[in-house]
Amino acid sequence: MAPQDRLTATFTRAERVAPTPLRSIPQLRVDGLSVSYGPHEVVTNVSFELGRGESLALIGESGSGKSTIARAVLRLLPSGGHATGRVAFDGQEVLGISERGFRPLRGRAIGFVPQDPANSLNPVRTIGAQAQEAAALLDEPDKAIRKQLILETFAQVGLDTPLRVYDSYPHQLSGGMLQRVLIGLAILPRPALLVADEPTSALDVTIQKRILDLLTRLQHDLKISLLLITHDLAIAAERADALVVLKDGVIQEAGRTASVFSSPASAYAKKLRADVPALNPDRYAALRDTGFRSLKTGQAPKIEVSAVTKTFTVDGKALTAVDDLSFSVPAGTTHALVGESGSGKTTTVRLLLGLEGPDTGSISVAGEQITGRSPEALRTVWRHLQLVYQNPFTSLDPTWTIERLVREPLDRFKIGTRKERDERVREALADVGLGEHLLSRKPGALSGGQRQRVAIARSLVLKPDVIVLDEPTSALDVSVQAGIVEVLLSLQTTLGLTYVFVSHDLALVRQLAHTVSVMHRGRIVEHGTVADIFDNPQQPYTRSLLASIPSGGDDVAHMRTRAFG
């Protein structure tokens, strides 16, 4: 017997609180739901329906209220949150009933898969101990049988060694495995509805695809309805039957995926569709033109990395972060370093800037050797080589004003008079599209996108030749990302900058890079122009990376219906 059948046969499912369901009653029906935290209303009059066995995606950027809606359905709003409206699960009202009345539903009939697997499990208890908590919902008195059920569920979600996982601690497992564990624990009591709050945004792109495939398979095997929360329109288009697009707590557009996706009606949905990198690979073709021409004319390389190796010793063991790395970047182009976590991208960035010294090999930027330089000598190189960090929330000193932050490089390198420096600061801010009224503010008053623009302005103010960008938009929403990418590309066209762009987001790389190096476990697996890599990948790793990009294409949706009926 297949594991899932044995599971179903082992215990009865008579404990469903709802009356005998009719096919016409939707699994979940939300009517006029409004949620407010104190005086602020974060969700306004949201209504949607989720049919039995179907999947619905709530799409929106950060602050759109999608997670709040999920938590309101599960009645897990933080203190201070107040929900009004009607939420009917299986025809039965659940928002207005008491906590005692709702508790039998939570976990048993309505399951939840959280966003960050690493932070959702208790680090000082084994997986097994925490799984027993979920198994307690089964009303199975025998501990041995409960353990057996847990192990069978682990096998069902694709964990190859269930017993080893059972005895492990969370830190001993990878992010993908932890998320599988959490999905397993969520489906263990066989819920009718599964709420998944951005289940893959903390994971690498290849793992992301596998987890989403798992969710789709479980959804069809176990006839679970899925409420998927995501910011990624492409993922939603691939995996959901219906879409609800949210902005600032208000529904912008709702309907079947095919219609919303192919012909969005609202302005916001149209903009969202235009901003998703996976769906618009040639959006910036005009801005990238100068770079491609530089590539063709075979300019002298601005950056040359040859045979660089760097090994770290961690806990007595040697870890090769970067192994025999070589690439070169012509002036005026954007070179992308693509790889998943652990591929050595961050180490490469630090080596490029001279923050770490390689064990072997040499690096030269703008004709100057980086390797083997003392910190004082490196300082002169940094006048022409700058770095934009990944996290705009930590890379700006929170106690400084924007004006002082952007002026800092000029002050440190003693460039120009005070008046000239002020002038350059204004110029840099105008270049990135920020108004002068922000000069006297502190970073705390700015949004993430604005902060990252300030970081870019700060790197520009020295007028460097090369800017290294370490995943500059991964902490930002997709629309904000689109704005920043446009800024970067237009600056490259006007100022002739050379970029090294590190990212795990292949779709984004396709939009803005000229040449690409694919990294895996510290080595460059494949190297070439964007067209070469994306249209004609040679290596199997590159191909699997490309296959993981959610394209929201019709081909995938059709594959889904064909496979699962």
Q: Taking the complex as a whole, how short is the minimal distance between the CB of residue 272 and another protein, in angstroms?
A: 14
Please name which of 292, 321, 295, 322 lies closest in space to residue 306, comparing C-alpha atoms.
322
- Tell me, what amino acid is at 99? E
- CB closer to another protein out of 184 and 443: 443
Instruction: Please count the residues of the chain.
Output: 565
Q: Taking the complex as a whole, how short is the minimal distance between the CB of residue 55 and another protein, in angstroms?
A: 29
Q: Taking the complex as a whole, how short is the minimal distance between the CB of residue 76 and another protein, in angstroms?
A: 23
Q: Taking the complex as a whole, how short is the minimal distance between the CB of residue 260 and another protein, in angstroms?
A: 23
Q: Taking the complex as a whole, how short is the minimal distance between the CB of residue 369 and another protein, in angstroms?
A: 18
Please name which of 503, 490, 523 lies closest in space to residue 388, comparing C-alpha atoms.
503
Strand 110-113 to 385-388 pairing? unpaired
Q: Taking the complex as a whole, how short is the minimal distance between the CB of residue 475 and another protein, in angstroms?
A: 12
What is the rounded distance in angstroms from the CA atom of residue 546 to the CA atom of residue 548? 5
Q: Taking the complex as a whole, how short is the minimal distance between the CB of residue 79 and another protein, in angstroms?
A: 15
Please report, for residues 54, 229, 257, 387, the alpha-carbon distance to residue 48 in angstroms, rounded to integers and kept in the order given. Answer: 13, 14, 14, 45
Which helix H or strand E contains 142, and what residues bound it? none
- CB closer to another protein out of 78 and 435: 435
Residues pairing with 520 in the sheet: 523
**320, 309 Cβ separation under 8 angstroms:** yes
Strand 225-230 to 193-197 pairing? parallel
* Phi/psi of residue 48, nearest 5 degrees: -160, 170
- CB closer to another protein out of 292 and 382: 382
- CB closer to another protein out of 139 and 397: 397
Which residues contact another protein by CB under 8 A? 40, 63, 353, 355, 379, 382-383, 386-387, 389, 391, 394-399, 408-409, 412-413, 432-435, 445-447, 449-450, 453, 458, 462, 480, 483, 486-487
Q: Taking the complex as a whole, how short is the minimal distance between the CB of residue 275 and another protein, in angstroms?
A: 14
**How many other CB atoms are there within 10 angstroms of residue 196's CB atom?**
28
- CB closer to another protein out of 141 and 398: 398
Q: Taking the complex as a whole, how short is the minimal distance between the CB of residue 446 and another protein, in angstroms?
A: 7
Report the SS3 class of residue 26: coil
Specify the residue for token string 């929330």: 393
- CB closer to another protein out of 216 and 511: 511
Q: Taking the complex as a whole, how short is the minimal distance between the CB of residue 344 and another protein, in angstroms?
A: 19
- CB closer to another protein out of 143 and 379: 379
Q: Taking the complex as a whole, how short is the minimal distance between the CB of residue 396 and another protein, in angstroms?
A: 6
- CB closer to another protein out of 216 and 386: 386
Report the SS3 class of residue 17: coil
User: What is the distance of C-alpha 530 from the center of its chain?
Assistant: 22
What is the rounded distance in angstroms from the CA atom of residue 344 to the CA atom of residue 319? 11
Dihedral of CA 344/536/284/280: which sign? negative
Beta strands in 107-266 (DSSP E): 110-113, 193-197, 225-230, 242-247, 250-256
Q: Taking the complex as a whole, how short is the minimal distance between the CB of residue 431 and another protein, in angstroms?
A: 9
What is the rounded distance in angstroms from the CA atom of residue 482 to the CA atom of residue 430? 18
Close Cβ partners of 162 (under 8 Å, ≥ 6 residues apart) = 150, 151, 152, 154, 155
- CB closer to another protein out of 237 and 482: 482
Largest CA-CA distance found in the chain, in angstroms, rounded: 81
**262, 247 Cβ separation under 8 angstroms:** no
- CB closer to another protein out of 220 and 384: 384
- CB closer to another protein out of 123 and 435: 435
Residue 314, Ramachandran bin (φ over 0: left; ψ between -120 and 50: alpha; else beta): beta
Residue 368, class by beta-carbon neighbours within 10 Å (0-12 exposed, 13-18 middle, 19+ buried)? Answer: middle
**49, 30 Cβ separation under 8 angstroms:** yes
- CB closer to another protein out of 224 and 303: 303
What is the rounded distance in angstroms from the CA atom of residue 259 to the CA atom of residue 243? 9
- CB closer to another protein out of 397 and 420: 397
Q: Taking the complex as a whole, how short is the minimal distance between the CB of residue 552 and another protein, in angstroms?
A: 25
